[in-house]
Amino acid sequence: MKFLFDEFFKKFFSLVCTIWRVFCVACVVCGVSSHFVYASSQVETQATQAGQQSAQDTKDSTKITKLDFASAYSVFLENSDSIKAQDYNLQKAKKLQLGAKLSFLPDISVGALYTHLDAPIQEKLPINSASIPPAIASQTQMQHILGLLSQPITFLKQDVIIGAINIIYPLYAGGVRLHGIKLAKIAQKDALEALRLKKLLAFEELASIYYGAILAKEVQEVLSQAQDGAQLHYENAINLEKSGQIAHLEVLVAQVALDKTTNKQKEAANSYKIASLALDSALDTPNVFPTSALSLLDKPLKPESYFIEKTLSSYPLLASADLKIDAAKEAKKLSFGSFMPQVVAFGNYIFHDSQKSLLIQAMPTFSVGLAAKVSILTPAARVQKYQAAKISQLEAQSLKSQATKELTLLTQKTYAQASYLKEEYKSLLSSISLARENLKLQQNAFRQGMATSTQVIDAQNALQSALIEQKTSAYRAILSLAKLFALSDEIDEFYGYLE
């Protein structure tokens, strides 16, 4: 019976081991398979995401951003690093102004002192026990007193720890703090005017870049049309030569004109590409397509005196010059403060360890008081600094006067130039009409054998030159208007003169 039980147990144990091995192998295989499936799915997901990102990047790189000039100016102000730097300068000036106001706060500090002496400071009382009568000295109480008096008195222990809270508050400093606050406020205003000036200069700069790209695009279009006209004239010349109406020389002349126009068109296309890159870089936006037109409205300008008055009253450069005069005045008062007395209130609270030494126990817990100081002679060159501050004020006033003259002259020149270019742009419309009519006549005459290729080409060049001249005149007029309205700080009025 026992033998049968042993055999059964061995077979059962062998079967369990076999099942366990199969289960382990299955787990390993399933684990590897699941890991492989998971890894494959991860690779597929990453590849899909990479493909989507690549497609998105390609889409973004080919996406065209259409902007009129007003929108482009907003984008330029938002993305320009120079504008951001000037804005950071303004934020810095605000922090410094706040810091100047904090000069009226007291100066509170905590100090601590630890000193280790080579030996405690002690002293014995000079008591002569022999001078005391024996009857008194023999008493028990007297002996106890004499024993105490014979011990050294500790004035200061070997380890000394002292701390203090100190408060100093200037009651009068010759106006230094007040004038310092005013200087910081002036510096903040000057930083604000510098930011305004930077934005106005950015307006002029962007007008040059933005409308420069439009000019390059429209010149390319004019030359493309001229190339089409030259191609048509060349084909007409070939047909007329085949019919025996013109000589081969006329065909060669037409071919040379076509080649020249083609080269000019390629040069214009390259110029437009460069101008577009400059615009994309300025706006920090790819594929910008300017939508504003290179044309002017027939709207008269306000009187010259109006622009001069607005420039002198609102242009940031003159406002900054006024602030420099105010800063020089405050700096002069600040320099004079060094001659004035200084009065401060002070107080301190002293704390120490609990040692029972006479000096520590006799030390006061707190103290308050007033202090005053008047400098009689110092190496700080106070007189020379005060004189230099007065000279700085005169210098700032002279610079303001010179800036006023220069800005007045600049406004007058810009106004005259803008007025002339507006009239020139308007007058060129008749030249374009004449050139178009002349080209039609020459082309018809050439088809009838009454005109040469040279006459047709001259007519084409005249129309091409008139169109380019008008567009260049419009570009120059727009830049002059942009400068004029930037000087008068009325850039919103600029858009009312454009179509």
Q: Is 159 helix (H, G, I), strand (E, B) or coil?
A: strand
* pLDDT band of 38, cuts 50, 70, 90: very low
Q: H or E element: which one contains 373?
A: strand 366-373
What average pLDDT score do residues 279-286 get? 93
In a domain, 137, yes or no: no
Q: Is residue 220 part of a domain?
A: yes
Q: Is residue 464 part of a domain?
A: yes
139 domain residue, yes or no: no
CA dist list (Å): 62 to 79, 110, 281: 20, 65, 16
3-class secondary structure, 493: helix
Nearest to 470 by CA among 419, 416, 436, 422: 422
End-to-end CA distance of the chain: 116
DSSP string for 259-327: HHHHHHHHHHHHHHHHHHHHHHHHHT-SSEEE-S-S-B---PPPPHHHHHHHHHHH-HHHHHHHHHHHH
Domain count, the chain: 1
Question: Within a domain: residue 1?
Answer: no
pLDDT at 397 over 60: yes
The answer to whether residues 254 and 234 touch, using CB atoms and an 8 Å cutoff, is yes
Does residue 6 sit within a domain?
no
- Asked if residue 53 belongs to a domain, the reply is no
Edge-to-edge order in the sheet of strand 159-172: 107-116, 159-172, 342-352, 366-373
In a domain, 37, yes or no: no
307 in Cβ contact with 415 (< 8 Å): yes
- Residues 315-349 have pLDDT tens digits of 999 999 999 999 999 999 988 888 899 999 999 99
Answer for the pair 266, 223: CB distance below 8 angstroms, yes or no. Answer: no
Which domain CATH number covers 411?
1.20.1600.10
167-181 pLDDT, tens per residue?
A: 999 998 888 899 999
Residue 370: other Cβ atoms inside 10 A: 9
- Here the contacts of 131-135 (C-beta below 8 Å, separation 24 or greater) are none
Which two three-digit tokens encode residue 410?
A: 């600049």
Supply the range of the domain harboring residue 328. 67-89+190-352+380-497
Residue 21: the pLDDT is 57
